[in-house]
Amino acid sequence: MTDRGRLDSHPCVAHRGWSGKAPENTLAAFRMALAEPAVRWIELDVRLSRDGVPVVIHDPTLKRTTNGTGRVADRTARELARLDAGGWFHPSFAGEPVPTLEQVLELAAGRCRLNIELKTDETDRADIERLARATADVLKAARLKEGVVVSSFDPVCLGDLRWHAPDLRLGLIAKRYVPGFAGTLRRMGVSFLALDYRRLSPAALAECARHGADVMAWTVNRVRDLLRLAAMPEPFLVCTNHPDRWLAAVRKQVH
């Protein structure tokens, strides 16, 4: 199989953009991923700002990836855009804002598929429903349904998404796989499974394929793990912070 064939069989998903070379979940990281032809998908994390805008950031608090403090949910989207979300990674990225989902959709539309993870570690059930509704509204306004998967660890959140946008493709994120799981996904209306790469197996992949569910292995960064996955013949997606390492692993397997 050629490089191209193996990359088609194992599409690369840039985790939070090219987060190995740029600050995660920023426009800089997404632009870098879009510039690499081997990257077929971008994964990103979405939360709600205080004023109900879906914004792209992983943690519920601001401390790790911005120069701000406190909770994301306590700041408006405009206030979040004024924070520095890049300087922590390297001074050359200073001034990168916390982007909105709408900004990322405008950047990536027609150029790359998106896996949009909704972060639902909030304890308030109403907040989760608000996040699902607001995300569905942004995707509807952008007229994007093809090439987009909206995923979550929370099946209830996926149910909210199904209610607000029945045509959206949904993905469940899981840390393990048990026999029969693919059938459960199908009954839930879920056709995409993001699975911890350590739980990936030929049996799980075969079962998911029979039920029409695509599988993405998350999040693979060590070279030895990438090499092992590149050698597997079954089709699946690979989510990594380092698309260059994945491309090198594929080329090594081929040559």
Who has greater pLDDT, 108 or 143?
108
Which one of the listed residues 58, 90, 211, 255 is annotated catalytic? 58
Name the packing angle between helices 27-34 and 101-108 (round to 10°).
Answer: 20
Assigned token pair, 182: 């693919």
**4-44 per-position pLDDT tens digit:** 667 889 999 999 999 999 999 999 999 999 999 999 999 99
Check residue 8 and give its pLDDT: 86
Helices (H), the chain: 3-9, 27-34, 77-81, 101-108, 125-141, 155-164, 181-188, 202-210, 223-230, 243-254
Decide the pairing of beta strands 54-56 and 39-48: antiparallel
Who has greater pLDDT, 67 or 6?
67
Distances, alpha carbon 242 to alpha carbons 17, 46, 103, 129, 205, in Å: 9, 21, 23, 33, 23
Q: Percentages helix, strand, coil for the chain, rounded to the nearest 5?
A: 40, 20, 40
Q: In angstroms, how far is CA 130 from the centroid of its own chain?
A: 20
Which one of the listed residues 15, 90, 164, 255 is annotated catalytic? 15
Give the architecture-level CATH label for domain 3-61+100-254: Alpha-Beta Barrel (3.20)
CB 131 within 8 A of CB 48: yes
**Domain ranges within the chain, ordered by starting residue:** 3-61+100-254
Indicate if the pLDDT at residue 173 is higher than 60. Answer: yes
- pLDDT bin (cut points 50, 70, 90) of residue 148 is very high
Distances, alpha carbon 232 to alpha carbons 42, 215, 236, in Å: 22, 13, 9
DSSP assignment string, 17-45: TTTTTS-TTSHHHHHHHHT-TTEEEEEEE
Name the 3-class secondary structure at 152.
strand
Active site residue 58: yes
Rounded to an integer, what distance in angstroms lies between the CA atom of residue 223 and that of residue 5?
Answer: 20
Rounded to an integer, what distance in angstroms lies between the CA atom of residue 7 and that of residue 13?
Answer: 11
CB 118 within 8 A of CB 131: yes
CB 195 within 8 A of CB 174: yes
Q: Mean pLDDT in the chain? A: 94
**121-143 per-position pLDDT tens digit:** 866 888 999 999 999 999 999 98
